[in-house]
Amino acid sequence: MNKKDLRPDQVVLDLVLTYSPTMPMLGRAAVLHGGLIIAAKNHREQFVSMSLPVHFDGEPFDGDPGAGLPPRWVLFKLGPTVWKLSPSVLDQSLHAYITIVGVPEDVSWGKP
């Protein structure tokens, strides 16, 4: 089977995106107005841009489509300049684990 024929739920990407303080270009991510905005390519080499509501505390939740419960994405700091989104992103065009690098230490994400 050709990789480009696989469904997004069959192909998991590990996307490492570079921080952008404004609207992201390809390969970048930004947090604007409480949402994580990413711009990337999927396993079919298609451009994918999406915005996800993010939290900075509490537990991530995969969601339960049968019960109508959406995922609860949490962005947390792994180390200096590196942040990780949990759980993974899964929709019709992308299934990916997302890491953001190059985030300034003084970023105001999640700060009161």
Average pLDDT over residues 84-103: 85
- What is the rounded CA–CA span in Å between residue 67 and residue 92? 19
- What is the rounded CA–CA span in Å between residue 17 and residue 48? 13
Instruction: Provide long-range contacts, Cβ within 8 A and 24+ apart, for 31-39.
Output: 31/75, 31/109, 36/73, 36/75, 36/85, 36/98, 38/89, 38/98
What single letter denotes the amino acid at residue 74?
A: V
- What is the rounded CA–CA span in Å between residue 23 and residue 45? 21
Average pLDDT over residues 17-25: 89
- What is the rounded CA–CA span in Å between residue 22 and residue 100? 14
pLDDT digits (tens, 9 = 90+) for 27-48: 999 999 889 999 888 777 888 8
pTM: 0.82
Query: Is the distance from CB of 44 to CB of 54 less than 8 angstroms?
Result: no
